[in-house]
Structure 1
Amino acid sequence: MPRIQAATVAEHRSLQRRALLDAARDILASGAPEAPSLSAVAQRAGLARPSVYQYFRSREDLLEAVIADMFPRWSAFVGERMDGAPGAAEQVLAYADANLELVAQGEHAVMRGLAMAAPGAALAESSRQLHEQLRVPLVEALTRAGAAEPQHVAELIQAVVRAGSQMIENGVPPDGVRDLVKQMLEPYLHAAGRLKRGSGSKAR
């Protein structure tokens, strides 16, 4: 790997830290049975081992940084996809599809690697925060789409996404899984929308 070049010291440090985080993510996603050592991460990033200590005090510190980096990015990716959808029903579909796309890109493999390697409390808290961050816009979209029990429906949709994620990780083509999930959700969302419009007409 070529040496990292940057215009300023601050940019250089930012790029090196990014390279180390990406290297750790790659190792975690590979399914290695143990947490990546700082030496292995430095080698994957193309940096000298002593330079790692300029950014991370220990392997645990590195893993916590991976967690802090990964979960907000996951939430932001899903949020952007939902924001770009034209309506509430489409936002729900975008939620499911974005999560499955991240799984297909290998993000869930990183999460699984973290589950084996990272401190339990840190991962559990980050997982809880991600779940809550994703749940809020999903429940809001379901409410606007006409779901009678949006909180409960959100749990069901998350269960479908988890099942789809497992299928992708078991080797089922991602595009096929994403299409199946869409086919499952669309009829419900259309029915919920009709009920909402019908209730609005009766109210008038």
Structure 2
Amino acid sequence: MPKIQAATVAEHRSLQRRALLDAARDILASGEPESPSLSAVAQRAGLARSSVYQYFRSREDLLEAVIADMFPRWSGFVAQRMNSATAAAEQVLAYADANLELVAQGEHAVMRGLAMAAPGAALAESSKVLHEQLRVPLVEALTRSGATQPQHMAELIQAVVRAGSQMIENGVPSDDVRDLVKQMLEPYLRASGMPRFEK
């Protein structure tokens, strides 16, 4: 039995499970053509392959766990950044910037890896849930601001974020992209009379 590296067995198991999830994320983000096998994940986490089965029944079980772990973290990060802003205009900008920051950190690369490796139905459903979760606070901020057709405007803002994400992944410096997106959105926010830009 491996030496326990935590105060309790439960904490030890939690740490090892976290190490396996992080190892799988690293492999998915690397862009390697082969999807992460349990043995590759175990090796990267510094564990025996047999110990992986204490946490995940199969490769599919592991990938589903990565999905379940990743998407709430993404939406939580965006929500936290939006909640730290007070005016509706700042919340809209925070939404766009937080998503682009996550892309720059490599989170979107993990998503791409999952798209190649994870079961299609599981990823599609989780991706749908993520985008719905992300849209809710954005639409709410746009609605509070008095924006016309906030649902459609949210779709356009998400399209801008997707384009910015692609630029970052194509090698354009993330700071430049984040600044360009801000330059694109601020005139709309100013024209809409959102609190931050009232004269």
TM-score by length of 1: 0.93
Misfit runs of 4+, over 6 Å:
none
Aligned to 2:72: 72
Instruction: Provide the rounded CA distance (Å) in 2 between the counterparts of 1:190 and 1:6.
Output: 53
Q: Which amino acid aligns with 2:170?
A: N
Q: Give the whole-Å Cα distance in 1 for the aligned partners of 2:81 and 2:194.
A: 24
CA distance in 2, matches of 1:94, 1:117: 31
Q: Deviations over 1:77-99 (max 9, x none)?
A: 00000000121000000000000
* 1:146 shift after superposition: 2.4
Q: Quick one: distance in 1 between partners of 2:142 and 2:107? A: 25
Instruction: Name the structure 1 match of 2:159.
Output: 159
Q: CA RMSD in A?
A: 1.6
Q: Report the TM-score when normalising by structure 2.
A: 0.95
CA distance in 1, matches of 2:104, 2:4: 29
Distance in 1, matches of 2:41 and 2:67, equals 15
CA deviation map 1:77-131 (0-9, x unaligned): 0000000012100000000000000000000000000000000000000000001
Where does residue 178 of structure 1 map in the other structure?
A: 178
Query: Deviation at 1:194?
Result: 6.2
Task: Show structure 1 runs of 5+ residues with no match.
Answer: 199-204
Q: Could you report, residue by residue, the CA deviation over 1:143-196 in whole angstroms, capped at 9, with x for unpaired residues?
A: 11221110000000000000000000000000000000000001101111269x
Matched, 1:113 2:145: no
**CA spacing shift, 1:21–1:172, aligned 2, 3 Å:** same
d(CA) in 1 for partners of 2:4, 2:26: 18
Q: Does 2:20 align with 1:5? A: no
CA distance in structure 1 between the partners assigned to 2:161 and 2:44 by the alignment: 32
Tell whether the 8 Å contact from 2:102 to 2:108 is kept in structure 1 after alignment: yes
Give the match's secondary structure for 2:193.
Answer: helix
Alpha-carbon separation, structure 1, partners of 2:90 and 2:72: 22
For residues 55 and 81 of structure 1, the distance between their equivalents in structure 2, rounded to whole angstroms, comes to 32
CA distance in 2, matches of 1:60, 1:35: 11
Offset of residue 34 of structure 1:
2.2
- Is the CA contact 1:145–1:189 (under 8 Å) kept in the aligned structure 2? no
Q: Distance in 2 between matches of 1:82 and 1:93?
A: 8
Instruction: Count matched residues.
Output: 195
CA positional deviation for 1:32: 1.3
Unaligned runs of 5+ in 2: none
Same amino acid, percent of matched pairs: 87
- 1:202 match: none
Corresponding residue for 1:25?
25
Aligned to 2:190: 190
